[in-house]
Amino acid sequence: MSIRLGDNQYGKAETHVVRITKGQTHDIKDLNVSIALAGDFAESHLEGDNSKVVPTDTQKNTVFAFASEPVGEAEEFALKLGRHFVKEFAAVKRARVTIEEFPWVRISVGGKRSPDAFMRRGAEKRLVLVTCRKNEEWVVAGLSDLVVLKSAGSEFWGFPRDRYTTLQETHDRILATAVTARWRYAGATTIDWAKSYDEARRILLETFAVKRSLALQQTLYDMGEAVLASRPEVAEIRLAMSNKHHFPVDLTPFGLDNTNEVFYAADRPYGLIEGTVVRDDAPDGALAW
Amino acid sequence: MSIRLGDNQYGKAETHVVRITKGQTHDIKDLNVSIALAGDFAESHLEGDNSKVVPTDTQKNTVFAFASEPVGEAEEFALKLGRHFVKEFAAVKRARVTIEEFPWVRISVGGKRSPDAFMRRGAEKRLVLVTCRKNEEWVVAGLSDLVVLKSAGSEFWGFPRDRYTTLQETHDRILATAVTARWRYAGATTIDWAKSYDEARRILLETFAVKRSLALQQTLYDMGEAVLASRPEVAEIRLAMSNKHHFPVDLTPFGLDNTNEVFYAADRPYGLIEGTVVRDDAPDGALAW
Amino acid sequence: MSIRLGDNQYGKAETHVVRITKGQTHDIKDLNVSIALAGDFAESHLEGDNSKVVPTDTQKNTVFAFASEPVGEAEEFALKLGRHFVKEFAAVKRARVTIEEFPWVRISVGGKRSPDAFMRRGAEKRLVLVTCRKNEEWVVAGLSDLVVLKSAGSEFWGFPRDRYTTLQETHDRILATAVTARWRYAGATTIDWAKSYDEARRILLETFAVKRSLALQQTLYDMGEAVLASRPEVAEIRLAMSNKHHFPVDLTPFGLDNTNEVFYAADRPYGLIEGTVVRDDAPDGALAW
Amino acid sequence: MSIRLGDNQYGKAETHVVRITKGQTHDIKDLNVSIALAGDFAESHLEGDNSKVVPTDTQKNTVFAFASEPVGEAEEFALKLGRHFVKEFAAVKRARVTIEEFPWVRISVGGKRSPDAFMRRGAEKRLVLVTCRKNEEWVVAGLSDLVVLKSAGSEFWGFPRDRYTTLQETHDRILATAVTARWRYAGATTIDWAKSYDEARRILLETFAVKRSLALQQTLYDMGEAVLASRPEVAEIRLAMSNKHHFPVDLTPFGLDNTNEVFYAADRPYGLIEGTVVRDDAPDGALAW
């Protein structure tokens, strides 16, 4: 029968390693590391021959072992892991390392930052996705679960109407969204990862805050364009932004006005806007994702 | 500056519609419908000109309006929705409709099935993903959150060992996994969706139960192959199966034996095995996903 | 300063143990066990003196060690654990053992039930809560995440109206709810736990299905009363039932009728109805919860 | 039959209201409001007579209507709601209003705080629980999901050992916990809620950071005592703190040392420490919770 194995990959997902580096003050890195290997693994699928299958347990051990030295930025740690698997195992043609980093901030004590006590800075995560092949590699950085809202400067009108359209046009709405942004670096892997991340995040936030929005699509594009415009090391940025609807509540049955101040925050359904902003001369990065 | 808009899509996600069809007995369809439209939407991104942007609110309304008639199988409902958007709106070049269906079973009363009272059949979901272009369409069906476990017939040995390998070989382990399976139909859209789904699900379950496993990769392949072997309408199947580790607990410190009967069910990390099984002569389906 | 320690307890939560008992067929028990100890632990709070503090790690080990023998019903396992801690440690005045049991069913292969392959039966959980003191003990059983819906036989009208009331009366609505039920046994601990549980669950489901509902409160009471009426071993039952609103969608803007067949399933807000049904002559059980 | 209705309450849970107050700058209050009413509701349970049942839909409307004026602190809004229900409806003997407040911070643009763009400050929530009777009321404030970690100054030793104890003593461990704290105010309802909350939160954080810990129990007590010691308006504080275990990874199989720097962050099981710290002369508050 003409049935065959197609694309496949496997690995250990969500190895949650916390690395404390102890000097005069302590530093913390809190990383959730997922590894996916692709390559020459047909025998395992077809015959249960595991002679080339690096156990996912070994992958987990490798994460912990590599954390015995300071891990640096998550991009560096991911590159170190990815390179290890493609270099050490002939069967591994591609190693993909995904890291979610949970940010912590120092607890403030009497106005001074504690040397060794920390507080989680919320739901937002920093993301890294590294893809290594035998002689190529790609680095994608990003963030997720960044929830932002603007109560001025957002409109939505001029859209087509059909039989099923009941939405009113608005020149003043709340725009709230959970941002997932991932940007691909152009080639070099000698970037100042921390600075590039901090700047991209700052630009995303400031652009969201400042730019008038006629559509969430426009906001998404503006945010992506602003990152590319000021960060030459970024080749492409992909954004996914939910439209977390805040509906003005009709208070007229109660004899009350609602001058766009009282809103019902809905859970579902929600809009979902996804888009890419890319530099025209960017090297191809299809395999990076 | 050479910055431009790349791939993009938008739509209303998770419109949760419940359709009761009331005859002598009541029938229930419980669908969580997500729509994503791609096409000629650059002006919205670049200039905030929404004259081609079908509001996501309208998309939601359309879901409810279309449910005013019995929805049939989720595949039919998704096709009806997808076709509507590509036909009615010139700017819409591709409509993707994703449905999660929550299965309900009738409550049994004195051994007889109730005509109008139902119980949710757990966390498992039935999935549909339909992609429509102006003159092409693809149908993917599937399921997710199907959690299965076998306490016999699973081994894992013969894997390579390196400096970081500590895993012991085993000829008797628990194999537990949460299955996500999605299969693409080959062309025709006149399939008996319900029967094809029921049979694919049955085959996945039976193969998991019966086949000896030397690796979760082998189990995945066996399950996919079995579906393709018996369902000619399926061109390709993609499986993602987590390895939900059940570690035997070392009871020797307590002077007790553990003959592979007492296990700690770990949450993280977990293995994640992803693979595709495909018919060699299958029509290309890259755009279906 | 007149500041002092008040009520306190501590323990290991969510030890997830899976016990396979291997005979001709395999049996599976999948238990998430939480332990909370109260007693003479002031020194630990006030001075960090842990000489009476049974480590939560030891509690976890005890769960696994006790599972080296077949665990029986979850009620028995909880009693065994609870009795152990109050008997072995003078400082432990009260041990509370909470178990969530995840139900599995055998996979059907060619119409026959597999001896060793299982499928999770959804989100529903069986609950046990046992409280042991030096010379008293209480057993509470129950279930949670049982989601049911009836599409006929539910009304809601005759409620008071004030300035803020906009709800329309209805004589035909969907009634959907996620049931949490916990019932306390009257004294004896020689009950046939499995049968009592199965019967209570059956009665809850059948009563929900069959009884006309003029309010979710009435349904709740009917369900509780039916359990007490037929299970003399049950002294008291506490029910918490969310009102998972299914709102009929107004299709008139689209020129369509909705004869109570198309519903929007809302997430939030939801009603929450909590009530107790109790046998008048029940022994006091305040400490059981 | 001697079966009767026991304790009961009902209400609308999780009405999610967002209130923007628009002056020169915008202010945001993001509140998830749950209401539970108890009283004279037996007829609804027993006969489906709803003539005294304030619909949960009306409760939701009331939340939105009351938000037509600036809501002030969540404690004030909860009191206003609670008082309304006990005053307007004779059958309502007790109204309990629970609020989760999601904190937002202003987005910084070029170093200046935006007047109308905000960012969610993470998973932490501010809590309010108000209980009103016809002529009594109680206010409880608090916080949840505050995740903190200290990498120095935590020990655990001197605990009893039995047959099931394998835990090693440690003089240097990571202490990580998700804090839920709720404190009851002593009587008066003319407190500066915002300041009291900010101070209690600051004291909890600073005490966690600064105090050496010989047991999480001791840390819990120290945190609670510190709040009572400096906030005379607080009568009692209840804390629930999970012990989020960070286990040092054994790197010796890889020929590496781990000088308490590399940790595996476990999900389950976890310790759970619950305790109350109370002022001796506090007025009784049993009904406040």
A45-72: average pLDDT: 97
Say whether B56 is catalytic.
yes
Q: Is the peptide bond between C55 and the residue preceding it cis, with omega within 30 degrees of 0?
A: no
pLDDT category of residue D241 using cuts at 50, 70 and 90: very high
* pLDDT at residue B94 tops 90: yes
Is B86 a member of any domain?
yes
Closest CA to A4 of A53, A46, A49, A52: A46
The reply to whether A162 touches chain B by the CB within 8 Å rule is yes
Query: Is pLDDT above 70 for A31?
Result: yes
Judging contacts by C-beta atoms under 8 Å, the chain A residues touching residue B165 are: 55, 57-58, 61
Task: Report the pLDDT value the prediction gives residue A83, as an integer from 0 to 100.
Answer: 98
- Both tokens of residue D139? 């206010």
pLDDT surpasses 80 at A188: no
pLDDT score at D283: 84
Rounded average pLDDT over D91-99: 98
> What amino acid is encoded at D188 in this protein?
A
| pLDDT tens sequence across D98-146 | 999 999 999 999 999 999 999 999 889 999 999 999 999 999 999 999 9
pLDDT per position as a tens digit, C5-25: 999 999 999 999 999 999 999
DSSP secondary structure of C13-34? E-EEEEEEEESSSEEEEEEEEE
Q: Where among C77, C108, C135 does a domain terminate? A: C135
DSSP, res A284: P
Mutate to test the interface with A, among D19, D31, D101, D149 (most CBs of A within 10 A): D149
Give pLDDT tens digits for D7-45: 999 999 999 999 999 999 999 999 999 999 999 999 999
> Does the structure show a pLDDT above 80 at A257?
yes
Residue D53, phi then psi, degrees to nearest 5: -90, 100
Write out chain B residues lying below 8 Å of D164, CB-based: 254
Q: Are A192 and A81 within one domain?
A: no
Query: Out of D26, D56, D58, D93, which one is annotated catalytic?
Result: D56
Instruction: Count CB neighbours of D282 within 10 A.
Output: 17
Flag whether A1 is in a domain: no
- Residues of chain B in contact with residue A13, where contact means CB-CB under 8 angstroms, are 242, 268-272
Taking residues B11-31, report their average pLDDT.
97
pLDDT tens digit string along D182-205?
999 997 778 999 999 999 999 999
Average pLDDT, chain D: 96
Half-sphere exposure (CA, 13 Å, Cβ side) for C283? Answer: 14
B205 vs C contacts (CB less than 8 Å): 107-108, 119
Q: Which of residues 83-112 of D touch A (CB under 8 A)?
A: 104, 107-110
Helix-, strand-, coil-residue percentages of chain D, each rounded to 5: 25, 45, 35
Kindly state whether residues D269 and D157 are assigned to the same domain: yes
As a whole number, the mean pLDDT across chain A is 96
Residue C286, phi-psi category: left (phi > 0), alpha (psi -120 to 50), beta (remainder) = alpha
Residue B38 domain-assigned?
A: yes
Identify whether the C-beta of residue A234 lies closer than 8 Å to the C-beta of residue A204.
no
The reply to whether B245 belongs to the active site is yes
Angle between helices A216-230 and A193-210 (to 10 degrees): 140
Tell which A residues from 259 to 288 touch D, by Cβ distance under 8 Å. Answer: 260-267
* Contact between B64 and C251 using a beta-carbon 8 Å cutoff: yes
Same domain membership, residue D222 and residue D81? no
If asked whether residues C282 and C152 sit together in one domain, one would say yes
Condensed to tens digits (0 to 9), the pLDDT of residues A126-140 reads 999 999 999 999 999
Residue with tokens 């390998």: B165
CA C135 – CA C69 distance, rounded (Å): 25
Query: Which CA distances in Å does B104 have to B144, B145, C149, C151, C199?
Result: 15, 15, 9, 12, 21
Position D155 confidence tier, pLDDT thresholds 50, 70, 90: very high
**In-domain check, residue A23:** yes
Q: Which two tokens stand for residue B30?
A: 């419980």
- Note whether B137 and B189 are within 8 A (CB): yes
Residues C3/D228, Cβ–Cβ less than 8 Å: yes
Confidence of residue D1 (pLDDT cuts 50, 70, 90): low
ipTM: 0.96
Enter the tokens of residue D281.
Answer: 């002369």
Helices (H), A40-153: 42-47, 56-66, 74-88
Question: Pick the residue with more confidence: A53 or D282?
Answer: A53
Distance from CA of B14 to the nearest CA of D (A): 19
**Shared-domain flag, residues B79 and B185:** no
User: Residue A282 carries which side chain, given as an amino acid letter?
Assistant: A
On chain D, the residues whose CB falls within 8 A of the CB of B268 are 267
**Same domain for D231 and D171:** yes
Nearest to C118 among B16, B118, B149 (CB): B149
Q: Which of C271, A254, C277, C172 is nearest to D53 (CA)?
A: C271
User: Does residue B104 have a pLDDT over 60?
Assistant: yes
User: Residue A36 contacts by C-beta under 8 Å, 6 or more apart in sequence?
Assistant: A9, A10, A11, A13, A95, A96, A98, B272, B274
Query: Is D129 in the same domain as D148?
Result: no
In a domain, B230, yes or no: yes
B109 class by beta-carbon count within 10 Å (0-12 exposed, 13-18 middle, 19+ buried) = middle
Q: Are residues D108 and D154 in the same domain?
A: no
Q: Are B164 and A65 a contacting pair at CB < 8 A?
A: yes
Half-sphere exposure of D62 (CA within 13 A, CB side): 26
**Residues D151 and D287 reside in one and the same domain:** yes
CB contact under 8 A, D270 and C12: yes
Among A150, A152, A89, A98, which residue's Cα sits nearest to residue A125? A98
Instruction: Among D49, D65, D243, select the one facing C158 at the smallest CB separation.
Output: D49
pLDDT mean across residues, chain B: 96
Residues C77 and C206 grouped into a single domain: no
Asked if the structure places residue B1 within a domain, the reply is no
- B27's enclosing H/E stretch is strand B26-39
DSSP D94-144: EEEEEEEE--EEEEEETTEEEEEEEEE--S-EEEEEEEEESS-EEEEEEEE
Q: Does residue A171 fall inside a structural domain?
A: yes
What token pair was written down for B75? 């595949």
Give percent above pLDDT 70 in chain B.
99
D286 and D161, same structural domain?
yes
**Mutation for C interface: A167, A168, A250, A268, most C CBs within 10 A:** A268
Does residue A123 fall inside a structural domain?
Answer: yes
> For residue C1, what pLDDT is reported?
56
Total of domains in chain B? 2
Q: Give me the helices (H) in C48-89, please.
A: 56-66, 74-88
Q: Domain boundary residue among A115, A135, A155?
A: A135
Pair A148, A289 in one domain: yes
Of the candidates B135, B153, B179, which is a domain's last residue?
B135
CATH number of the domain that B102 lies in? Answer: 3.10.270.10
Asked whether residue B285 carries a pLDDT value surpassing 60, the answer given is yes
Domain of residue B229, residue span: 142-289
What the block records as the tokens of D237 is 């504080």
| Mean pLDDT across A40-69 | 98
Is D242 in Cβ contact with C270 (below 8 Å)? Answer: no
Other Cβ atoms within 10 Å of B178 Cβ, number: 19
The torsion region of residue A260 among left (phi > 0), alpha (psi -120 to 50) and beta comes to left
| Most C-contacting residue of B264, B267, B268, B270 (CB-CB within 10 A), to test interface | B264
For chain A, the chains sharing at least 3 beta-carbon pairs closer than 8 angstroms are B, C, D
3-state secondary structure (DSSP) of residue A185: strand
Residues 183-242 of D with CB under 8 A from C: 213-218, 220-221, 225, 228-229, 236, 242
B116 in contact with C at a CB cutoff of 8 Å? yes
- Model's pTM, two decimal places? 0.97
CA distance D32 to C2: 36
Residues in chain C: 289
Looking at residue C203, what is its pLDDT? Answer: 98
SS3 D214: coil
pLDDT at A258 over 60: yes
pLDDT beneath 70: ranges in chain C? 1
Alpha carbons B249 and C265: distance in angstroms, whole number: 44
Answer yes or no: are the C-beta atoms of A53 and B159 closer than 8 Å: yes
Q: Give pLDDT, residue D286.
A: 81
Q: Which residues contact C130 (CB under 8 A, 6 or more apart)?
A: C75, C78, C79, C81, C82, C96, C97, C98, C137, C138, C139, C140
Structure confidence at residue A1 (pLDDT): 56
